[in-house]
Structure 1
Amino acid sequence: MSTPLTLTRAQKAAAILVAMGKPSASRLLKFFKQEELKALIEAARLLRTIPQADLERIVAEFEAEFTEGAGLLDSADKMDTILNESLSPEEVDAIMSGKKAVEEPSGPPSIWPQLEKLEPQRLGSFLAGEHPQTAAMILSMLAPQPASAVLLTLEKAQRSEILRRMVTMTVIPEAATKIVESQLRARVLAETASKDTTAGQIRVASLLNEMDKTQLDETMQDLEAAGTPDLDGVRARIFNFEDLPLLTQKARVLVFDGLSSEVVTLALRGATPALTEAVLSSIGQRSRRMIEAELGQGSEGVPLADILAARKSVAAATVRLAREGAFELPAAQSAANAA
């Protein structure tokens, strides 16, 4: 009586797969994890001849039913054949190297991350001329924050209609999605790539917003005299602390809702009465009384650098909210009205 073979669990599994034959084994291989497939391959390469008695014992251990067959010969070669006919060469190489198989892209990259990086006004202008159902479908594909910013650039009635359709929207057919994506690439992203100078305008405006009012006005005059292109786009993104009264009451409330009383108090030291009132009228009564009490004590001993830094913080917060689509800066509003 021969001594039964001593096999590892991986070798037993490989033996059973080979015994099942290529069609059945190929279907099962799809359910194995990458590390399990690697173990099977390595185990099969160590197998040679498995007597029928040992095969039956292995099958019994797994408590499965197999049809009667002959003993196994050249298990490694048969396992290689099954793998090669079940998986691509790249998948086999990836399994044996311990790397994930590289999936070839099935088409152009997704456009939605690119759309989310556009300025809200840019995408909002496009959606304003589209059917509400199309706009609802596009916004439903964006992340909540950029989608909300785009919505705020639209007219109230149009905004409500789009939201109503988004609430009742079901699964979007793939064919419809591809058509919309194609149009967005051709009419929004392509035009943006060829004509949009927004990034440069934002960079220049960010530098100019660090200057005080006098320096800013002088620099803008120099840029205009030099015939700098796209200067209107830069001007629309410029905002100074002294421009606060030009904002709407709603916009000012949004700005100061996110700022501490300490920053507001420091920024208002030495400000004109009109500017001070514009700010104080945009905050709660309790905060207003506290700030007025602090300002009543005078600004002696308060470093001018601290005051200017607080004013820049207020201006920066205003620019950030405008960029997110919460409202338009005064210069942008003037440009839109002129157009």
Structure 2
Amino acid sequence: MSTPLATLTRAQKAAAILVAMGKPSASKLLKFFKQEELKALIEGARLLRTIPQGDLEKIVAEFEAEFTEGAGLLDSADKMDTILNESLSPEEVDAIMSGAKPVVAPEPPQIWNDLERLDPARIGAFLAVEHPQTAALILSRLAPPFAANVLLTLGKPMRGDVIRRMLSMTTIQEAASRIVENQLRSRVLAENTGKDISAGQSRVASLLNEMDKEHLEEVMQDLEATGATDLDGIRARLFSFEDIVLLTQKARVALFDGLSTELVTLCLRGADAALTEAVLSSIGARSRRMIESELGQASDGIAAADIADARRTVASTAIRMSVEGAFELPSAQNAA
């Protein structure tokens, strides 16, 4: 059934032309319509039926526009909906039809990323004097690995209370969330500005981790002799390939689970028996046989620098996994 030309409103005629233009061109034009005009177009398009080619040409003539030869229009309402849905978000379409202003999604707050750059103990100290419900809200917004480290800094009674509240937590009112965020900015981030030395400790530790064990210990002794402070924070971030023997069996299994046999073999070239066994006991039987077979062959032609690079790769992987919460470095345990 077609829609009589004489009964078409101006909005319906405009909608007919937009549908005839096709989605690419029509989508560009929709951005220039006002909200009330878009609403009129949508309502007009939903009342349209088949428009014969002859009537369409007359509509185009009324608007003094040009229209290339086509086959007429079918299902104008559905096509207009397709154009709108591909040009505007669902919230914008709903806002237009309801008469409300289009909703602009707010940018996600950056405060949670900023908090995750701090020492978990710093966040834990703040939460320890707050209401458990506030602590539950904050921990629920942080990345799980970081939130877990923060949770471990709390006392056991509060820790359990906070977890129970997180389990039963429902939707948080936006106003309450904003209040908590503002408090964190003023009492944690602002206070921390210029005082947080964790970034500096990480930079120094990254530098020291590039050294071999002997030189690393020498530098640390020099720092201690000069009265440098916060050395415990640096030690907690230090890890070398030789420290693998100090990791727990569970940590070693997790570390070597994702490493190639070629890398592990290269790392073990020239390693002592205790270190070699600590590594081989952490991998599967098949991989162990392959590595032992390779180690039994001559290592002529393998550069010492390549072995050192491979060992640093393993050490860096261990440091990254500890930061992600997979396990704790032995240096961090000793510092604690």
Q: What's the TM-score, normalizing by structure 1?
A: 0.62
Q: Is the 8 A contact 2:242 2:275 kept in 1?
A: yes
Matched, 1:135 2:135: yes
Query: Does structure 1 residue 199 correspond to structure 2 residue 199?
Result: yes
Partner of 1:311: 311
Match of 2:320 in 1: 320
Residue equivalent to 2:215: 215
After superposition, the Cα gap between the structure-2 partners of 1:154 and 1:268, relative to the gap in structure 1 and judged at 3 Å, is: farther
CA gap of 1:167–1:251, structure 2 versus 1, over 3 A, is same
Paired residue for 2:117? 117
Change in CA separation of 1:283 and 1:214 when aligned onto 2, cut-off 3 Å? same
**Deviation per residue, 1:144-177 (Å, 9 max, x gap):** 5544565577789977765554343211234432
> What SS does structure 1 have at the residue aligned with 2:33?
helix
Using the TM superposition, give the Cα deviation of residue 307 of structure 1 relative to its aligned residue in structure 2, in angstroms.
0.9
What is the distance in 1 between the residues matched to 2:164 and 2:309?
A: 44
- Are residue 37 (structure 1) and residue 39 (structure 2) matched? no
Structure 1, gaps ≥5 residues long: 1-7, 14-32, 41-59, 64-100
Distance 2:46 2:160 in 1: 62
Q: Deviations over 1:186-205 (max 9, x none)?
A: 44323322421111111111
1:40-59 superposed matches below 5 A: none
Higher RCO, Cα 8 Å, sep 6+: 1
Q: Decide whether aligned partners of structure 1 residues 249 and 143 sit closer, same or farther in structure 2, where only a CA change above 3 A counts.
A: same
| Sequence identity percentage | 64
Distance in 1, matches of 2:298 and 2:45, equals 90
Write the distance in 2 (CA, Å) between the matches of 1:157 and 1:39.
58
Cα 1:157/1:123, change in 2 over 3 Å:
same
Alpha carbon RMSD of aligned pairs, Å? 4.3
| Shift, 1:137, TM fit | 1.6
Q: Deviations over 1:82-141 (max 9, x none)?
A: xxxxxxxxxxxxxxxxxxx9x9x99xx652232233344543565466555433321222
Larger radius of gyration: 1
Answering whether residue 233 of structure 2 is matched by residue 233 of structure 1, we say yes
Q: 2:231 is matched by which residue type in structure 1?
A: L
Do the aligned residues in 2 keep the contact of 1:152 with 1:325 (CA within 8 Å)? Answer: no
Query: Do 2:261 and 2:287's aligned partners in 1 also have CA atoms closer than 8 Å?
Result: yes
Q: Secondary structure at the residue paired with 1:269? A: coil
* Cα 1:217/1:256, change in 2 over 3 Å: same
Instruction: Write out aligned runs for 1:224-303 (5 A).
Output: 224-303=224-303
Residues 257 and 61 (structure 1), Cα distance of their counterparts in 2 relative to 1, 3 Å cut: closer
1:61/1:311 Cα in 2 relative to 1: closer, same or farther (>3 Å)? Answer: closer
- Following superposition, the deviation at residue 320 of structure 1 comes to 0.8
Question: Is the alpha carbon distance of 1:61 and 1:307 closer, same or farther for their aligned partners in structure 2, counting shifts above 3 Å?
Answer: closer
Alpha-carbon offset, residue 265 of structure 1: 1.2
TM-score (norm 2): 0.62
Counterpart CA distance in 2 for 1:211 and 1:265 is 21
Kept in 1, the 8 Å contact 2:145–2:325? The answer is no
Where does 1:137-152 land on structure 2 (aligned, <5 Å)? 137-144=137-144, 146-147=146-147, 150=150
What residue is the counterpart of 2:71 in the other structure? none
